Amino acid sequence: MTPESDDRAPEPPAANPYARTRADGGFTVVAAAGEIDLATAGFLAEHLDAATATARPDVLVDLRGVAFFDCSGLRVLCRADSRAKERGGRLRVVADDPRLHRLLRASGLWTRFTPLPVIPRAR
The CATH code of the domain that includes 84 is 3.30.750.24
- Is 52 a residue whose pLDDT tops 80? yes
Amino acid at 58: D
107 within 8 A of 73, measured Cβ to Cβ: no
Beta strand ranges found along the chain (DSSP E): 19-24, 27-36, 58-69, 90-94
Mean pLDDT of 67-83: 98
pTM for the full predicted model: 0.90
Task: Note down the domain range covering 20.
Answer: 13-106
Question: In which band, very low, low, confident or very high, does the pLDDT at 3 lie, cut at 50, 70 and 90?
Answer: very low
Mean pLDDT of 20-32: 94
Q: Is 95 within a domain?
A: yes
Instruction: Give percent of the chain with pLDDT exceeding 70.
Output: 90
- Total domain count, the chain: 1
- Is 1 a residue whose pLDDT tops 50? no
Q: Is 120 within a domain?
A: no
Q: Is 79 within a domain?
A: yes
pLDDT at position 85, please? 98
Q: Is 88 within a domain?
A: yes
Phi, psi for 43 (deg, rounded to 5) = -65, -40
Q: Is 77 within a domain?
A: yes
Mean pLDDT of 46-52: 97
pLDDT digits 0-9 by tens, 79-109: 999 999 999 999 999 999 999 999 999 999 9
